[in-house]
Structure 1
Amino acid sequence: MNSARGTAAVAVVLATAGTLLGSTAVTASAATTCASPVYKRQLFANTTFKGTPKKTACDTVIDESWSGAPASGLPKDNFGVRWTVTRDFGSGGPFALAASGLDGIRVYLDGTRRIDLWKNTTKTVSKTVNLTVPKGKHTLRVDYANWTGAAKVKFTYTPRTSAAVDKVKPLAPAGVSAVYQPDGEGTNTVVTWAANKEMDLAGYRLYRRLKGSSSWTEVASTAAGTRQAWDETPPTGQSYYYEVRAYDKAGNRSAGSEDQLVVSQDMTAPAAPVLTATAVEASNNLSWTAPVDAVSYRVFRKEASDAAYTRLADTTATGYTDTSAAYGDAYDYKVSALDAAKNARSSNVVRSTRTIVPPQNVTATVPSYGVVFSWTEAAGGDTADYDVYRSTSSPVETGYENLVDCRSRTTHTDASGAKVRTCVDYDGDQGTTYHYVMIRKNTAGRWSTGSAELTVTRPGDEVPPPPVTDLTAQPLEYGFKLDWDDSTATDLDHYSVYEYRSCCDPDYLGTVPAGTSEFVVGPEAAGGESHTYVVVPHDIYGNYPEYTGAGWDAPVSRVTATELDLRPTTVPENTAPCSLTTYTTLGDEGGMYIDCADSVATEAAGINVYRWDRATAAYIRVTDVPLAPTATHYTDTTVPHGTTVYYLLSVVAPDGSETFSNVDASVSLPSGA
């Protein structure tokens, strides 16, 4: 059966130079010539390639499978096929020659045999040879012999493109041409070049450099099949060189092509001048920066409500005083810078209004609590009021949204006799950079423009200190001793201690200064109850975790502990017509209030006070003689210190019998606490 690749046709020339072999087969008569890189294929009625070929054609690839005669006039066995091609390998480099066949196949490069699989076989044989092809033109020849049976042959030659293998640079592109094309608005340069011969070509890169400079800048890149690129040449009137470099799939880059010179037109305006305006009562004073190639300037003005500008003046100076502006009216100004070619560029637009002198010599200090401003009163001392504006961006807009409540305002006279005013911005975030501007109102009710902008950075941050670590609560007979590790926060100011309650907001218990890491909760009765305590660190910038009702808005440390249980183990039945309420004193005495029914005063013989003694597990009477039935309070001068004690009352009847009241606790601190 004939292969689809080998049919007779008119000879053609293929324009495929610079690429791998294509997939289209071209056939021809015996006089066929095949354009590189297409193979010329010759079919012989023998395996020794003797005599005149029976058929000649062109093949773009060598990949055949015949089950019979490969063409009319040839036998189905004992025939030979020879392919040859001569092509330009460019810079050459590492290639892989891969052949397989059933039966014999031989491959030659420039007449030197590189693959030899020449034998009759019933199995497909194959071999790949890696070699380096020198630069320039070389001839490949593939000989194939089929002795008996099915016929198969395949051959490829491909560049090896691994960066570890291929170290050969492509050839520099040739035939480079650069055409400069100004269009009145910009300047383009079109660069073209001839195709590179490399088979592993990845593409081209276009470079530009200023004449007199040695530094090249890449301005464009193309794929391997594109041989044209554009660049927007800077319209500066200067001369530029262009060159093209090829690069292959391994990343190797060629030398530069022959340099092409273009001279650009100067269509570049000077840099924009930076315009500023200072308003005083007599004029609007303009000043601007001078771009390098500017030779003159034009000054324009319009009222803020107008659409069109009026040309005020042409000047070579970098300043202008506008005395014709009406006092109190806002004007927009801009300045155009012109170069020698009359290219012009406009400045920014500034607005200015003739007005009173703004605050002068404004300074700021930044203690932890805010920003303290100081400024010198304008000559005449006619300030009726002043405002401060703050923004995180510059310039500062003097609008309501940027108005600062600058408080703690003072006025004093310095050593020179000048009036100095101060105020403090207590707001704003710590660690943030702010820009400030001040304006002043004179006694005529006119407001000034803004002072010179002042930039300050608040110290610190807005981050609460980290939670304390190793917080413990040691039960005491009169409360708890809380202890924790010293905070590592360098800006720590103090700690706040709270008792946390699940029912409601936490109770504030006290403050502990930085450097101290313990706190005694008490006096607190040791009645066996559980308590949860929270220690909240505060820094010098006012940052601390806050309780929001649903919890703290930042992590805090808490500890839960159970009180010592010093309650009496027995409690008499509460049958006395009296109630007892103890209170804690910070001295050396325990006090209580006695509240009895009216009948006690007329019917009882007296009232006794008992205190629970843990050592004997019994109530000890602390009144030597009963109190009067009308007693309303009692002080126990023998109360032990640094513990919780429990009292009850007995109402003594005339017959000496006793009835007992409720039990209540009293707590005393250690002596000297």
Structure 2
Amino acid sequence: MNPARSASAAAVVLATAGTLLGGTAATASAATTCASPVFKRQFFANTTFKGTPKKTDCDSAVSESWSGAPASGLPKDDFGVRWSVTRDFGSGGPFALAASGLDGIRVYLDGVRKVDLWKNTTKTVSRTVNVTVPRGKHTLRVDYVNWTGAAKVKFTYTPRTSATVDKVGPLTPMDPLVSYDTANNKAKLSWGGNAEMDLAGYRVYRRLRGSTNWTRLAATATTSYTDTPPATGAVYYYEARAYDKAGNESAGTADQLVTSITLAAPGGLGSSVTDTTAELSWKAVPGAVKYRVVRTDPSGGEKVTDVTGNHLGDEAVNRSYTYRYKVAAVDGTGHLSPYSDTVSAHRPPAAPRDLTATADVGAALLSWTVKPGDGTVYAFHVYRSTTLPVRTTGEPVSCTTTYTELPDGSRKYSCTDDSAAEGTAYHYVVTAEDQASAVSLPSGTVTVITAESDRPPAQVTGLTATATEYGIELDWDDNTEPDLKRYAVYRGTVLGEEGGEQVCSGSEWAWLSPSTSHYRDVRLPDGDHACYWVDAIDTAGNSSRWLGPVSAVTVDELDLTPSVATPEGSPLTLTADTPDSGGVHLGWSAVDSATGYQVYRWDPATGTYEKLAATTDRSYDDTSAARGTTHYYWVTALYADGTESAPGADQAILEP
């Protein structure tokens, strides 16, 4: 036998005053109170519900199955159980009363019997009855008896929510209230909850005073809603309506009035610029959900940007251009306030790029680059310091600027600081200024040590000369003095007897930049004895020769002259040159009555001029000629009788 179920968590059992675990059964029964919609349940030891209940408690649902006595003091057969509840059905409407039991069950609505299954049976019987419950509070009662055997009982009452059946709308929500937060333009409407069991939720409406048109703002399952009305200073009315699961809607609550604020124009609009961005900020406006920023460019074109905060960083601005900005506040419905006053922002030019400095005597030659898009520069300012960092305050250095156009559209600027002291280390930076007096960030810093007018550079050391099949290779140690302007290579012949005093008598042969310490003297390797020396010259024109005698190197050229002499009396003149495309190009003069020409090339391995090609043209390209050596050629004229003329000769040197 299962004991009776305890009261649900939602029910509260109270004892009457002055009663403590004692008193009569009638007193205990009367003391039981169950909060709607929980059922009050009474157990009787008979099937006629006579006398005092043996037990009274609360039950959240009618759904039981007993195989023995349902409660202490009750028999397992011939007992009765009564459930009753009084609740508010709101607007009422169509309901389905569903009952089933083993044995008898009866259902009453306000004392009127709606279900009658009252017989002793060995199997479960059931019935569903559709009824219309009037609005307001009503009482449901379920009587159940078990005559013999097992006991089962179940009862439910549910609203019928089909739109074809339910035509009863919910009651109008009660006790509407509205509050308005003027600081944030927020209107909060609240109301009392409805009692309908088929309630789906609530709809909130708003209309402008003087209009009969209501705008539905939202549907909500709660009993409050917060709106942001258009901040125009207009008067608005709000109401709430309940709606059920069949789609029926109640009448609206009493209108609740709100006078909206007027959305003010943003104040305190200010602008500033960084190297990359125009920065805008303004004061927040009560009731605004976002802000509309309008930018006007120099040509009059406008760009509109919406932001949620009261700040905007505009990176899409060109350098050396002035832009104008204004801001309006926007409320939740898209209404704009008046626009603020207008402010301007001007992005400065870019810092000069790739600053370099070259030392001169008491001077420094500076150069830098400005690329397209870096801004329109009106002037440059050169700042100099003997300490770091270089400050860009105070008077800049006087430095007249010139420029050259580069292929990519950039400009390379240069100027010379002639006011520097000799032999002094200086640090330089350069800034750019446009026509609006906007100044760029400083360039990178460069350092240079100015040259001294009476101090020649050090003499070249480590000079070597190497004979090759294409000439002489010279190498020497780097001179790292900052004012070095160039190297001068001298080539000459050795004077004096071997074993005695000898000198290199030569002349200036080549000028080289200070960034190289190598020279290739391409010359015919015919076994000459030669000498070389290298002079270092600074920007002041000082020469390392002034420091005293210089060291020269001597070298014996290789001798690649063919061992077979070229006969005299050739009717043609041969020239050999080395085009940039590679190989050796041969060309010769025409010979009357010649039927063709034979090209020869000297082969040192065989010691003969080997046939290379026969042609009727007056030129030939030797694409097979190896690089890094000297090639010797003959070309003869061929005649119809099978003879050929004496050869014309020339040679070509191919560098590696």
What is the TM-score with the length of structure 2 in the denominator? 0.41
Instruction: Flag the structure with larger Rg.
Output: 2
What is the TM-score with the length of structure 1 in the denominator? 0.40
